Structures are given as C-alpha cells and as structure tokens.
Amino acid sequence: MLGRPASELIDGPAGALEVVVEDPADAPRGLVVVAHPLPTMGGTMDNKVVHTLVRAFVQSGWRAVRFNFRGVGRSAGTWDEGRGESADLMAVVAHFRQAPDLVGRPLALAGFSFGGFVAAQTFVRLQQAQAGRSETVAADRLVLVSPATSRYSVPAVPTDTLVVEGEEDDVVPLSSILEWARPQGLPVTVVPGTGHFFHGQLGTLRDVVKRHIAAWAGA
C-alpha cells in the first residue's frame, strides 16, 4: 500500500466509499480528487501512478483525496462501466469540497487510464451542473495521465488540461491520445521510452505534474 495513511468510509451513491486523505505540511492550497484505473483489470486507489499523482499534489501544497470506485476494496456496489463511477467521484468531491480550510481554494480532478476518462467526464458534468445550480462548485483544473481514449468516449476538455502519455503505451496507444487531442488543439506531454504504467519514469511523471501545478499559481 506504499505506506499510505489508513482509509476511511464516506457515504456514496451505491453505499460506502473507501477514501484516503493526505495533507501537506501547511494549510492546503487546494483540493484534488484522484481517480484510479480500470477496476475490472485490478485497478485500485493504491496503483503506483495514482500514488505518484497524490505525491505531486501533496508536495505542491494540496490536499489529495483518492478513493476506491464502487465494488473495489471496502467500497460498496458493483462495476457500472463508468456511469456510477462518475457519480462516485462527484460524491467524493461533494463530501470534501466544503471543508472550512478549503473555502475559496481551487478544486482539481485527476485520473489515470480509466480514471482519466471518469475524471474528464465528471469535470464536464460539474461544469454543466454549476450552470444550472449556483450551489454546485465546478472543478478548476484537470490532470489526465494516459486517459483511456482507445476504450471510452472521453469528452473534450479545456486546453489548459495537463495530459501526460507514455511514448510506448501499449494499453492506450499514443496515436489514440493524439487523435482525441488534435481536434481540440490540446497539448500532450509525452514521456519518452516508457509505457502505460510509467515503469522507471514515475519520478519524471511526478515532476511534470508538479511543474504544471506551479504554473497554475502564475496563471
């Protein structure tokens, strides 16, 4: 479990959701919720790419929350092909977004592979919900690592989204990422010589994400 803190349970749309919260040394600059890869292929919140995203945000001063989708670990429910998993992510955001020390702070969504697909569609859902209900808070930022464009219909995202892909990814091929990104004019950061799980390049991935987070402060 990579030395992570103990998990806790919160209410979710299909029952309890298992979450882990990690805080920076000082008051959080913002909140990020990180979504994990495909549950039917063994994906959990303890995936090492998810862990790397958490580390990047915590080291950058953000509160990071990761969670197990329905039917994974201690989370109740069953696999729902992305629909219910998006509802799970929205529930985690709603639970943690209202903390007093996060008032006025930015909200980011992040995800890896299937979790990238869920994060992207949830980002869009939150924007649409905010347009209709003033009490709904949309996410400000989005970080996607190898989003599953070859397997799911990943929606268009803002051009300031960070998209990171391994050059030799054989699960979500680079060509698929580029075909999705090209019509949007969306930049893609390619890490040379690594595959879907960034073996040997997790430090590089962490640093890419940290540089992007640092750039937000000056935007």
For the chain, the structural domain boundaries read 8-217
Tell whether the model's pLDDT for residue 44 goes beyond 90.
yes
CA torsion, points 16, 18, 20, 21, in degrees to nearest 10? Answer: -10
Q: What is the DSSP string of 115-144?
A: HHHHHHHHHHHHHHHHHH-TTPPPPSEEEE
Instruction: Round to whole Å and give the CA distance between 19 and 74.
Output: 9
Position 156 pLDDT exceeds 70:
yes
CATH superfamily, with its number, for domain 8-217: Alpha/Beta hydrolase fold, catalytic domain (3.40.50.1820)
Backbone angles phi, psi at 144, to 5 degrees: -125, 125
- Report whether pLDDT(131) > 80: no
Using the predicted structure, report yes or no on whether residue 23 has a pLDDT greater than 60: yes
Higher pLDDT, 134 or 209: 209
pLDDT at 129: 78
Residue 131 vs residue 57, higher pLDDT: 57
93: nearest Cα among 21, 38, 32, 50: 32
| 208 vs 198: CA distance, rounded Å | 12
pLDDT of residue 4: 77
DSSP 3-state assignment of 1?
A: coil
Q: What is the mean pLDDT of residues 188-201?
A: 98
Average pLDDT over residues 33-52: 98
Assigned token pair, 174: 């680079």
The contacts of residue 2 (CB under 8 Å, 6+ apart) are 46, 48, 51
Bridge partners of residue 33, in order along the sequence: 65, 109
Confidence tier at 194 by pLDDT (50, 70, 90): very high
What percent of the chain stands above pLDDT 90? 90
Separation between Cα atoms, residue 116 and residue 157, nearest integer Å: 11
Provide the mean pLDDT of the chain: 94
Residue 36 has pLDDT above 50, yes or no: yes
| Residue 206, CA distances (Å) to 47, 105, 178, 192, 200 in order | 14, 22, 22, 15, 12
219 pLDDT band, cuts 50/70/90, is low
What number is the average pLDDT over the span 46-66?
Answer: 98
Q: Which residue has the tokens 């980011």?
A: 108
Confidence label for 11 from pLDDT (cuts 50, 70 and 90): very high
Give the pLDDT confidence score for residue 1 in this predicted structure: 47
According to the model, what pLDDT value does residue 63 have?
98
Amino acid code (one letter) for 165: E
* pLDDT band at 32; cut points 50, 70, 90: very high
